[in-house]
Amino acid sequence: MKPTLTSRERVLAALSHRQPDRTPCDFWAEPPTWNRLFAHIGHTDKDRLLDELEVDVRHLEATPPAEIEVGGGVFQNFWGERYVYSSTPWGPMREDVKGALADAQNFTEIESFAWPTPDGIDRSQLAAQCRRHEQRALVYGFADVWQRPALVRGWEEFFVDLVERPDWVHFLCRRFTDFYIEDYTRAAEITGGRIDLFLLISDLGSQRGPLISLAMFREFVAPYLKRMIDCIHGLGARVLFHSCGRIRPFVPELIALGVDVLDPIQPAGPEMAPESLKAAFGDQLSFHGGLDMQRLLPLGTPDAVTAEARRYCETLGKGGGYILGPAHLFQPDVPPENILALYRLEAR
């Protein structure tokens, strides 16, 4: 059936809880996954591939400062996150290690760290990207105001700080929030308000349940999410909030804070099933993602992937409110055939 809406119109209809002509879809993948997929399809043109899959969303790209090697095969980005690169048959994959402030013993070390400024981000290509993808829905950013501070500090150290040094945690979260408010404001100005969704990230859950209590969420996470959400809404855009894990207890809190779209709705337990989420929150929230990255996509058949995609579209997409996609970036262990199967039009 010939589409009756542009990609952007389709996404905006779904996010306004109106039934679009078909369920819109998004795509994101780790670099080695792109390499594996390109080898399978026989070309290396990202835009061409996304067009062929009829993907409705494009992720705008600004250039951050270059990473540096700090020794022993460990790299550090402009925030002070540290990581190593593990080999895969399709290229290196980042794996996080303790960050630059993991050994900090006093607040002066935290405060005097060489914190980045928004001036270090090269946004000069954003306007051209908007023009190139005029008919698509546009996403910008990678703002993280809780998990990324924890990576810089080191997860274990950060969790101790939550109890013993709460002022350190607030300083870190405030530093990241201030940065991303300015970054997002500049991106919106450069693109003339064209950005539809701004990404906001903080992983709050594990496979078994929340990483922190609701009380700690309200003290250490919610105030910074609220500042970011208010900023994004003030820019005329919607909030795409990402958290992995079993985060059902946080969903009402996220709705109250103003989150518009929840990603990746990781199917880590029955309370994260699409039927349960739609019944409980479908009139207050839109959803993004959901296709299981741990078992279905790497181990299932293409037909099973298509069938599960159809289930998510029919369940979460009923009456609008859903963007089809994986329950995280496509990982390199996902066969290309399964990636292509997710985007079959009969699934949407």
User: How far is the C-alpha of 47 from the C-alpha of 316, rounded, in Å?
Assistant: 27
User: How far is the C-alpha of 53 from the C-alpha of 337, rounded, in Å?
Assistant: 12
In a domain? residue 69? no
In a domain? residue 12? yes
Domain that residue 225 falls in: 7-64+105-347
Tokens for 71, please give them.
């020794």
In a domain? residue 310? yes
Tokens for 249, please give them.
């207890």
pLDDT of the residue at 347: 75
In a domain? residue 89? no
Tell me the CATH number at 113.
Answer: 3.20.20.210
In a domain? residue 2? no
pLDDT of the residue at 2: 67
User: How far is the C-alpha of 39 from the C-alpha of 303, rounded, in Å?
Assistant: 22
In a domain? residue 38? yes
User: How far is the C-alpha of 248 from the C-alpha of 237, rounded, in Å?
Assistant: 25
Work out how many domains the chain is built from and give that number. Answer: 1
Indicate whether this model's pTM tops 0.85. Answer: yes
Tokens for 113, please give them.
């760290």
User: How far is the C-alpha of 287 from the C-alpha of 278, rounded, in Å?
Assistant: 9
In a domain? residue 78? no
Phi then psi for residue 318, to 5 deg, are: -65, 120
Question: Cα Rg for the chain, rounded, in angstroms?
Answer: 20
pLDDT of the residue at 102: 98
Taking only the tens place, the pLDDT of each residue in 135-158 is 999 999 999 999 999 999 999 999
In a domain? residue 84? no
Residues 183 and 121: beta-carbon distance below 8 Å: yes
pLDDT of the residue at 345: 81
The identity of residue 312, as a single letter, is: Y
pLDDT in tens, the chain (348 residues): 567 899 999 999 999 999 999 999 999 999 999 999 999 999 999 999 999 999 999 999 999 999 999 999 999 999 999 999 999 999 999 999 999 999 999 999 999 999 999 999 999 999 999 999 999 999 999 999 999 999 999 999 999 999 999 999 999 999 999 999 999 999 999 999 999 999 999 999 998 999 999 999 999 999 999 999 999 999 999 999 999 999 999 999 999 999 999 999 999 889 999 999 999 999 999 999 999 999 999 999 999 999 999 999 999 999 999 999 999 999 999 999 999 999 998 778
